[in-house]
Amino acid sequence: MDPNGKVALVTGAGLRVGRALALALGDAGCRVAVHYGRSETDAQETASLIQSMGSQAVTIQADLEDATQVAALAAAVEDQLGPIEILVNNASIFDKVGLDDVSIENWDRHFAINVRAPFLLAQAMQSQLTSDSPGKIISLNDWRTARPTRFAYGVTKTAVSGLTRTLALSMAPNVQANEISLGAILPPSDIPTDRPRNEIEIDLGPADRMGSLNEVADAMMMLIKNDFITGETVNVDGGRHIQ
C-alpha cells in the first residue's frame, strides 16, 4: 500500500505511542483521524502537528468502552475523511489488578476497550470499504500477555492476537491485519513521571534499553507498505520475547 492520501484512524492518539503513530502516518501523507477519550488538548496538538506537515487531520472523541460511541467514531471518520483504510488499534487500559481482586466490572471494561472496540472498528471498516479496496489493520500488543499483576489486561491482549489472526482471514485478500507487540517503550502511564527510571520495574530485553517511538512507527509503516504479511506478530521488544 502507498500510504499517501489514505484515510487512517489511530485510537488513543493524543499522546505517547498513539501520537507517535499518528505523526508517522501524517508524515507519510495520510489523512489522519486522531481519536481521543479524555486527552482533548493533546489530541488537538497531535492534529496541529500533522497539519503543520501539510497533511489533513481531524480529532474525534469517543469513549471506547461504549459500543454506541465506537460506532459513532467509525461513522465520523467516514463522514469527515472517507472510508477507513488504515486502522491502528492503539488505545488500551492496563490496570494493575491481579486474580484475587479483579472484579467483573474491571474484566468487562478491559474487554470492552481492549478487544471489543478494535473488533467493532474492524467491522465498521469492512462495511465502509468496497470489496476490492485495500486496507490495513495494525493492533498494538505486548510482548508478554500472561501478566498475573495485570490480569485482565494480559487476557485481553491474548484475545487481541486471536482477533488479529481471525481478521486476517475474514478480511482477506484486500485487507491485511497484523499486530505489533511492544517491549518497554515508555513507562506505564499510571507510574508518576517524576519517579526515577531505575526505580520502575522495566523489563528490558537483550537490547538492554528501552525502545524508541520511532522504532515502533517504523514497524507500523513497514506493515502498511508490505501487502504480503498478514495475521503476523511483529515483536518490537529488543528481543525480550526470546529471552
Residue ranges that bind ligand NAP, judged by CB under 6 A: 12, 14-18, 36-39, 63-65, 90-94, 113, 140, 142, 182, 184-186, 189
Nearer of residues 12 and 26 to ligand NAP, judged by Cβ: 12
Nearer of residues 85 and 142 to ligand NAP, judged by Cβ: 142
Nearer of residues 27 and 63 to ligand NAP, judged by Cβ: 63
C-alpha grid cell for residue 232? 503476523
CB 59 to ligand NAP: min, Å:
10
CB 231 to ligand NAP: min, Å:
18
CB 55 to ligand NAP: min, Å:
21
The four Cα atoms 158, 161, 163, 165 give a dihedral, to 10 degrees, of: -150
Q: At what angle do helices 213-225 and 16-27 cross, to 10 degrees?
A: 50
Per-residue burial over 118-153, b if 16 or more Cβ lie within 10 Å, else e, is bbbbbbbbbebbeeeeebbbbbbbbbebebeebbbb
CB 213 to ligand NAP: min, Å:
9
- Dihedral class, residue 62 (left if φ above 0, else alpha if ψ from -120 to 50, else beta): beta
* Paired sense of beta strands 86-89 and 135-142, if any: parallel
Nearer of residues 74 and 182 to ligand NAP, judged by Cβ: 182
Residue with cell string 518490537: 236
**3-state SS, residue 31:** strand
- Residue 213 to residue 163: CA distance in whole angstroms: 24
Contact 89, 64 (CB under 8 A): no
Nearer of residues 5 and 162 to ligand NAP, judged by Cβ: 162
Nearer of residues 17 and 28 to ligand NAP, judged by Cβ: 17
CB 58 to ligand NAP: min, Å:
15
Beta strands in the chain (DSSP E): 7-10, 31-36, 57-61, 86-89, 135-142, 175-182, 233-236
CB 61 to ligand NAP: min, Å:
8
